[in-house]
């Protein structure tokens, strides 16, 4: 049979040999692979009019280096095959890793673990929001009042957080947009401004908690340091962000930043492991605390439950979760040749954060399919292990130390520190203060990043990144310094608890747009092919018809919509009831 590339100057035997090797490997994969044809070329098929084009694509992948570039040109020269479409290029990427050999079950497990390891990082950044100083305040108050009974609320809040964070990751992965940007592009202007105002209230309330917590920790570790000075020193963590956090820079620098935050989180976990080993408590009562009890309907318990909910499912974490998944999507597209050059920017300017306001990145279908499941698994594990453990540990330590304890003077951060330092050892009090400091620093860093995402996404704030971050932090530090100077030590715990209730009240307004956007196929439909950029004036290009040819609908299935709606309804009812009780003076 004559070679179809007879007119080429390339020797026939080289190209035909490459095609012969491709055909053999195709047959091998069809016979021995469990996935069969769907693993080889998902979405393209082997129709007769596609045979030549598929063979050229495979020949290019297995041909020697000297043949590869020429075979690409040969594929363009043939009249029947023409060039591979971007859709075929995207679909053919998985074959490069799977063709020619069949992995054993152990090899598949190793490959999955290695791939998952590359995604570790964003989940820890998100989990930091769930172990901030606000959690210390609410969990200590809950443990002192109801001992272990509110552990059920801690568990329930973490389950809510996993569901909502999964939706946030889904939105950021499928659309390439964070939640704030999606609200600006898809909602009316008045609604976007309203959501932005509420988001800024949440950011300021969150950052106030981080600043106050850091100041308290510094005061506990260094008693000579005033609380006002501690609040002012908390601005130093912004310098860490300025030097290390580059979401659009090299992945190596971003991973180093993630490792730094992971170390802070690990330090908090180690501190609480030491504390749990030193306290005495009934293990059976602790586990019974994860079951619902009648005390949960009391007015004070409901107030504290709303505080725990606001401290756990924090609004800014949803903006953060939807915005930190894009670097790995971009890395995948760049590695597999699916990332086009950014319009209107040169290679030298692409490293600058400010240049990325001009065009928005839309991930390819291949990168979405590859990254989504790993990203959701990683954040779920981080929240259900580290975040749940730390929040439970704080409440357990407080319940064991402060509940019905006549020696406990005040059920706050200062009180539990003094009690542990006197009753157990000064070293335990120091470990507790160190854990609080690490939580405050890491949560402050993450909150500043989330504040930047909100301002950039919601109102397209065109300022230098370092100035934008510094301004966001300064807005939060000012009221914290006023509270520390005017109220002092006695009122800081009240301010922390109140900030968490404010966050809980804002939460329904943040979660409803997230559930709505991820449930509409208009926004969650993926087109096949390479990654794309779009200019924001092309708003109509962001909504994709669900009936588009070869498109993939990645909106929420009906049962996820129902589950998310139930979660939203529970959060809303709890907050309405709490506000009513506050108005009646039955909760404080």
Confirm if 518 and 555 have CB atoms less than 8 A apart: yes
Q: What is the mean pLDDT of residues 560-573?
A: 92
**Would you place residue 252 in the very low, low, confident or very high pLDDT band (cuts 50, 70, 90)?**
low
> Which tokens is 86 given?
């971007």
**Displacement of CA 586 from its chain's centroid (Å):** 37
> Which tokens is 69 given?
């570039």
The pLDDT assigned to 565 comes to 94
pLDDT tens digits, residue range 472-481?
Answer: 667 777 777 8
Q: For residue 577, how many other CB atoms are within 10 A of its CB?
A: 17
The pLDDT assigned to 457 comes to 84
Question: Rounded to whole angstroms, what are the CA distances from 258 to 120, 121, 251, 533?
Answer: 9, 5, 10, 26
User: Could you tell me whether strands 552-553 and 525-526 are parallel, antiparallel, or unpaired per DSSP bridges?
Assistant: antiparallel
The pLDDT assigned to 435 comes to 87
Q: Tell me how far apart the alpha carbons of residues 465 and 241 are, in angstroms, rounded to a whole number.
A: 10
pLDDT tens digits, residue range 154-172?
Answer: 999 899 999 999 999 999 9
Confirm if 357 and 459 have CB atoms less than 8 A apart: no
> Which tokens is 390 given?
């730390």
Q: Rounded to 5 degrees, what angle do the CA atoms 371, 376, 381 make?
A: 130
End-to-end Cα distance, the chain: 87
Is CATH 1.10.4160 correct for 118-546+557-583?
A: yes
The pLDDT assigned to 196 comes to 93
The pLDDT assigned to 274 comes to 84
- Whole-number percent of the chain with pLDDT over 70: 68
* Nearest CA among 354, 362, 344 for reference residue 249: 354
Mean pLDDT of all residues in the chain? 72
Q: Could you state, in order of their start, the residue ranges of all structural domains in the chain? A: 12-84, 118-546+557-583
* Nearest CA among 538, 534, 460 for reference residue 184: 460
The pLDDT assigned to 68 comes to 37
More confident residue, 90 or 105: 105
The pLDDT assigned to 168 comes to 93
pLDDT tens digits, residue range 300-313?
Answer: 888 788 778 877 78
Q: What is the mean pLDDT of residues 181-199?
A: 93
Q: Tell me how far apart the alpha carbons of residues 360 and 362 are, in angstroms, rounded to a whole number.
A: 7
pLDDT tens digits, residue range 99-149?
Answer: 445 578 777 777 777 766 666 767 777 877 777 787 887 888 888 888 888
Q: Among the listed ranges 100-104, 181-185, 359-363, 575-579, which one has the minimum average pLDDT value?
A: 100-104
Q: Tell me how far apart the alpha carbons of residues 10 and 186 are, in angstroms, rounded to a whole number.
A: 52
pLDDT tens digits, residue range 91-113?
Answer: 444 444 444 455 787 777 777 77
Question: Rounded to whole angstroms, what are the CA distances from 69 to 3, 55, 224, 308?
Answer: 18, 15, 70, 60
Q: What is the mean pLDDT of residues 274-295?
A: 84
43: left (phi over 0), alpha (psi -120 to 50) or beta: left
**Displacement of CA 479 from its chain's centroid (Å):** 28
**Displacement of CA 147 from its chain's centroid (Å):** 32
**Would you place residue 15 in the very low, low, confident or very high pLDDT band (cuts 50, 70, 90)?**
very low
Is the confidence at residue 423, as pLDDT, over 80? no
Confirm if 57 and 92 have CB atoms less than 8 A apart: yes
* Nearest CA among 530, 457, 540, 543 for reference residue 203: 457
Q: Tell me how far apart the alpha carbons of residues 375 and 359 are, in angstroms, rounded to a whole number.
A: 24
3-state SS record for 101-153: CCCCHHHHHHHHHHHHHCCCCHHHHHHHCCCCHHHHHHHHHHHHHHCCCCHHH
Per the document, the length of the chain is: 588
More confident residue, 362 or 406: 362
Q: For residue 559, how many other CB atoms are within 10 A of its CB?
A: 8
pLDDT tens digits, residue range 463-510?
Answer: 665 676 677 667 777 777 887 777 777 777 777 777 877 888 898 999
- Whole-number percent of the chain with pLDDT over 90: 12
Q: Tell me how far apart the alpha carbons of residues 444 and 401 are, in angstroms, rounded to a whole number.
A: 28
* Nearest CA among 200, 176, 158, 164 for reference residue 516: 164
The pLDDT assigned to 463 comes to 64
Cα dihedral 479, 244, 316, 525 sign:
positive
The pLDDT assigned to 93 comes to 47
């Amino acid at each position: 049979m004559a070679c179809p590339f007879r007119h080429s100057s390339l020797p026939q035997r080289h190209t035909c040999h490459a095609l012969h090797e491709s055909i053999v490997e195709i047959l091998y994969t069809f016979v021995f692979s469990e996935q069969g044809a769907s693993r080889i070329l998902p979405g393209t098929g082997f129709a007769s009019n596609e045979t030549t084009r598929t063979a050229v694509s495979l020949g290019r992948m297995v041909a020697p280096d000297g043949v590869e570039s020429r075979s690409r040109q040969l594929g363009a020269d043939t009249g029947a095959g023409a060039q591979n479409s971007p859709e075929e290029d995207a679909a053919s990427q998985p074959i490069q890793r799977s063709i020619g050999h069949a992995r054993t079950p152990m090899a598949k497990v190793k490959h999955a673990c290695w791939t998952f390891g590359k995604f570790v990082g964003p989940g820890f950044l998100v989990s930091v929001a769930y172990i901030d100083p606000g959690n210390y305040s609410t969990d200590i108050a809950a443990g002192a009042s109801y001992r272990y009974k509110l552990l059920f609320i801690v568990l329930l809040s973490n389950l809510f957080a996993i569901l909502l964070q999964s939706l946030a990751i889904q939105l950021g992965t499928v659309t390439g947009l964070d939640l704030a940007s999606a609200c600006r592009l898809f909602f009316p202007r008045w609604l976007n401004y309203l959501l932005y105002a509420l988001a800024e209230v949440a950011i300021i309330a969150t950052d106030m908690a981080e600043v106050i917590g850091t100041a308290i920790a510094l005061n506990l570790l260094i008693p000579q340091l005033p609380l006002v000075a501690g609040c002012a020193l908390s601005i130093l963590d912004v310098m860490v962000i300025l030097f290390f956090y580059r979401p659009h820079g090299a992945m190596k620098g971003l991973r180093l930043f993630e490792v730094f935050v992971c170390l802070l989180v690990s330090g908090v976990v180690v501190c609480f492991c030491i504390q749990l080993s030193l306290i005495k408590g009934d293990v059976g009562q602790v586990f019974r605390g994860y079951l619902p009890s009648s005390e949960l309907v009391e007015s004070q318990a409901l107030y504290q439950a709303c505080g725990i909910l606001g401290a756990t499912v924090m609004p800014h974490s949803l903006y953060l979760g939807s915005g930190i998944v894009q670097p790995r999507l971009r890395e995948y597209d760049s590695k597999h040749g699916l990332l086009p050059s950014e319009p209107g920017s040169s290679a030298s300017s692409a490293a600058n954060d400010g240049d990325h306001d001009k065009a928005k990145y839309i991930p390819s279908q291949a990168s979405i399919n590859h990254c989504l499941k790993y990203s959701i698994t990683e954040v779920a594990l981080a929240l259900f292990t580290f975040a749940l453990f730390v929040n439970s540990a704080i409440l357990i330590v407080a319940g064991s130390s402060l509940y019905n304890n006549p020696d406990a003077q005040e059920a706050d951060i200062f009180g539990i520190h003094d009690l542990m330092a006197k009753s157990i050892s000064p070293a335990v009090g120091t470990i507790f203060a160190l854990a609080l400091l690490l939580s405050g620093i890491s949560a402050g860093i993450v909150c500043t990043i989330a504040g930047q995402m909100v301002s950039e996404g919601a109102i397209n704030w065109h300022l230098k990144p370092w100035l934008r971050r510094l301004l966001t932090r300064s807005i939060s530090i000012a009221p914290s310094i006023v509270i520390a100077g005017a109220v002092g030590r006695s009122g800081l715990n009240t301010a922390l608890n109140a900030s968490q209730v404010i966050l809980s009240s804002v939460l329904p307004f943040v979660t409803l747009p997230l559930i709505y956007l991820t449930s509409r196929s208009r926004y969650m439909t993926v087109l096949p092919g390479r990654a794309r950029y779009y200019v924001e004036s092309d708003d109509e290009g962001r909504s994709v018809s669900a009936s588009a040819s070869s498109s993939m609908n990645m909106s929420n299935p009906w049962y996820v919509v129902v589950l998310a709606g139930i979660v939203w309804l529970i959060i809303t009812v709890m907050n309405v009831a709490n506000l009513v009780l506050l108005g009646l003076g039955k909760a404080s």
